[in-house]
Amino acid sequence: MSAPSLIASRRRMLAGFPGFAVATLALTVAAAWLLNVGFRGPGDRSAIAVAAAVAIVVQLGAFPIVRALAARNLMLGWGAGAFVRVASLVAYAIAADKVLLLPLPAALISLFVFYFLSMVVEPLFLRT
What does the pLDDT look like over 70-120, one tens digit per residue? 889 989 988 999 999 999 999 999 999 999 999 999 999 999 999 999 999
Q: Which are the contacts of 59, defined by CB distance < 8 A and separation ≥ 6?
A: 20, 24, 114, 115, 118
H-type helices in the chain, by residue range?
3-13, 16-38, 44-72, 74-94, 104-126
Q: What is the pLDDT of residue 9?
A: 56
**Does pLDDT of 13 surpass 70?**
no
Mapping DSSP to helix (H, G, I), strand (E, B) and coil, where does residue 39 land? coil
Span 35-56, pLDDT tens digits: 999 999 999 999 999 999 999 9
**Does pLDDT of 15 surpass 70?**
yes
This prediction has a pTM of 0.87
